[in-house]
Amino acid sequence: MDSGSKEQPHKCHMSRQSGPKADKKKHETSKTDKKQNPKAFAFSSTVKAKRLQSRAIEKEQSRLHLPTIDRSYGEEPAPYVVVVHGPPKVGKSLLIKSLVKHYTKHDLPEKVQGPITIVSGKQRRLQFVECPNDINGMIDAAKFADLALLLIDGSYGFEMETFEYLNILQVHGFPKVMGVLTHLDKFKDANKLKKTKQRLKHRFWTEIYDGAKLFYFIWPGSWEVCQTRNSQSGSFHICYEVSSFILAKCSSLYFGGSFRRCHSS
């Protein structure tokens, strides 16, 4: 018989039944069974069961929430607040109406109530606020004002409310201040009007700084006629200065220019 034609029998492998290798293999097998059938290898402690049940409930509840309402205006910046201040019957409402009509081409009702926000550019808004004459309203308006327009009765001069508001502005940050002289149509003498302008201008510069912007509103007619037709030249110059101030504030640069008035003296 040829021994090369027959297969040589081999001894079967006998895995170890005891020892460290056998213990390690048994331990790995128990881990695999525990992963494949976790219910069969559940915990027997009631305290641990209660703790895991509470944790599972908390995880489930953390995923549940009410939808939040987005009340923001997106990425648009806050509007620039322009506070219009002055004594009674000096033309605050008329000035706000003129400024709003200059930007929006729409007329406002007879009485201006509350702040008015308009869109003056693609990424810019303006808010006009009429400042009340009580001390609490002045303090609140001085805190949020970016620009203050002080209306002064040219036929009477500076009044107590104007100086009070200037002192309040100095305490609360002192924003940009521009002056507006109204009721100059009551002057019949040109020389007296010129002297009054110079006197009020230098008095205004003493309170603010030399070169502070002061507008002279001289209507081609009486003050009542101006109420029927909004001031076009005056509102244009103020809107120009307001826009220039906002552009300078956005770019953090000083806006310098000529001393602009509605009508030169």
CATH number, domain of 84, equals 3.40.50.300
pTM of the full predicted structure? 0.57
Look at residue 133 in the predicted model and tell me its pLDDT. Answer: 86
- Which band of pLDDT confidence, cut at 50, 70 and 90, is reported for residue 104? confident
Look at residue 201 in the predicted model and tell me its pLDDT. Answer: 87
β-strand partners of 182: 153
CB atoms < 10 A from the CB of 122, how many?
6
Average pLDDT over residues 125-133: 88
The contacts of residue 200 (CB under 8 Å, 6+ apart) are 152, 154, 157, 158, 181, 214
Look at residue 195 in the predicted model and tell me its pLDDT. Answer: 87
Look at residue 254 in the predicted model and tell me its pLDDT. Answer: 32
Average pLDDT over residues 128-146: 88
- 37 in a structural domain: no
- Is 256's pLDDT higher than 70? no
What's the per-residue H, E or C state across the chain? CCHHHCCCCCCCCCCCCCCHHHHHHHHHHHHHHHHHCHHHHCCCCHHHHHHHHHHHHHHHHHCCCCCCCCCCCCCCCCCEEEEEECCCCCCHHHHHHHHHHHHHCCCCCCCCCCCEEEEEECCEEEEEEECCCCHHHHHHHHHHCCEEEEEEECCCECCHHHHHHHHHHHHCCCCEEEEEEECHHHCCCHHHHHHHHHHHHHHHHHHCCCCCCEEECCCCCCHHHHHHCCCHHHHHHHHHHHHHHHHHHHHCCCCCCCCCCCCCC
Average pLDDT over residues 31-37: 67
- Is 48's pLDDT higher than 80? yes
Least trusted range by pLDDT, from 97-101, 119-123, 258-262? 258-262
- Is 255's pLDDT higher than 50? no
- Which band of pLDDT confidence, cut at 50, 70 and 90, is reported for residue 119? confident
- Which band of pLDDT confidence, cut at 50, 70 and 90, is reported for residue 70? low
- Which band of pLDDT confidence, cut at 50, 70 and 90, is reported for residue 54? very high
Least trusted range by pLDDT, from 5-9, 53-57, 123-127? 5-9
Do 132 and 85 meet the contact criterion of CB atoms below 8 Å apart? no
- 203 in a structural domain: yes
Domain range for 114: 80-251
Q: pLDDT: is 229 or 219 the higher one?
A: 219
Average pLDDT over residues 179-192: 82
Least trusted range by pLDDT, from 121-130, 164-173, 215-224? 215-224
- 8 in a structural domain: no
Least trusted range by pLDDT, from 11-20, 34-43, 136-145, 174-183? 34-43
Q: pLDDT: is 113 or 264 the higher one?
A: 113
- 195 in a structural domain: yes
- Is 265's pLDDT higher than 80? no
Look at residue 193 in the predicted model and tell me its pLDDT. Answer: 84
Looking at every residue in the chain, the average pLDDT score rounds to 75
pLDDT tens-place string over residues 157-180: 888 888 888 889 888 888 888 888
Count of domains observed in the chain: 1
